Amino acid sequence: MPRIVCVAGARPNYMKIKPVMDALEGRGAEVLLVHTGQHYDPAMNDVFFADLGIRPPDRFLGVGSGTHAEQTGRVMTAFEPLLEEVSPDIVVVVGDINSTLACALVTAKAGPLLAHVEAGLRSRDWSMPEEVNRVATDRVADHLLAPSPDAVDNLRAEGYREDQIHLVGNVMIDTLLTNLARARASDVLARHGLTRGEFGLVTLHRPANVDDPAVLTGLLKALGEIAGRCPLLLPVHPRAAGRLAEIGVPGGIRLVPPAGYLDFIALQDAARVVLTDSGGVQEETTALGVPCVTLRDNTERPITVEQGTNVLAGRDPERIVATVNRVLDDPPAPRRPELWDGRASDRIADVLLNGGTASTRPRPTSLPRPKSADRPGPEDRTLPI
């Protein structure tokens, strides 16, 4: 059986790596969990390991925070000697954080097969660091494990080989369905004095929303108006805490500490509406059948919009208020995409354990130039050049 390194670095990774590890170990593979330490705050790290039952990592790199370049560089310099020491057959990276890209680049140069979980997602917004990370990671990966048909379409349009692309479904939904009963048993509603279906849930963390005081002020203005109709609960992400304190929060919006995984799923499940700038929350609300309004101009999860369970409202306060009022007046019918069935991790394990080795499998090669133009412009910069 192969030796497989699974990499996690921050909160968005934990829900994705746990079911993959379980499926691989259930088939007899030797799995080493490497935690880069990109998230190290207990509220963003320890509680998720406990809630999800993730075993302690085999290696902790402890890279900490920093600029994108600093953080990516520290992960690379720490991961390179580890990879040489353990000599894995396959490295699995998930999502689109800096650790994902850093470990992908090291792996591609070291020689093991590289698998990317959530391959093919595209916002087509080159100002998002995550977009750069996911596009570059896909470019060097051997196995592109796509969560939805739109992701497969993106990869095909970019020229990847068919044998690289695998439609496997959404591993976040594996974790959600596995833990939903435990989440619903949480007392988080009682702790916050909430009643099911009578509050809205808000998350804000993206730099485009919280780093610019003018943008954040506009969002808070919209949220304050919405709170007059539907009280809002806002678990505060560390990135946003200081800025929210500086600007001040309108009445009707309750700030609470960051929630653990089970508590946050329980809050989503019980909310009347969720307002978010998180990609993962768009997926979780779709699976839960809870209306979602996304406070962004684009999304790398367009399938949630196509299903009608998620609406892009942008960041204009008037448009946000009008969109939320429309959703409250006429909530969308619950729908769940195909293959969001709790078995994505099983399909991933099948691909990895039956996909050959670095010595027998074709490796990533030069891709054809984009057909749309000699040089990609802003509308198609996700295409390889």
Q: Pick the catalytic residue from 35, 68, 205, 237.
A: 205
DSSP letter for each residue of 221-275: HHHHHHHTTS-EEEEPPHHHHHHHHHH---TTEEEEPPP-HHHHHHHHHH-SEEE
User: Active site includes 166?
Assistant: no
Distance from C-alpha of 52 to C-alpha of 34, rounded to nearest angstrom: 16
* Strand-pair partners of 31: 4
| Cβ–Cβ under 8 Å, residues 61 and 78 | yes
Distance from C-alpha of 189 to C-alpha of 320, rounded to nearest angstrom: 26
Q: In angstroms, what CA-CA distances link 88 with 7, 103, 162, 233, 256?
A: 12, 13, 25, 44, 42
Distance from C-alpha of 46 to C-alpha of 310, rounded to nearest angstrom: 30
| Cβ–Cβ under 8 Å, residues 128 and 337 | no
For the chain, how long is the longest CA-to-CA vector? Answer: 62
Q: 338: Cβ–Cβ under 8 A, 6 or more apart, which residues?
A: none
Of 261, 249, 256, 268, residue with least CA distance to 200: 268
* Strand-pair partners of 167: 146
Distance from C-alpha of 204 to C-alpha of 199, rounded to nearest angstrom: 17
| Residues known to be catalytic | 205
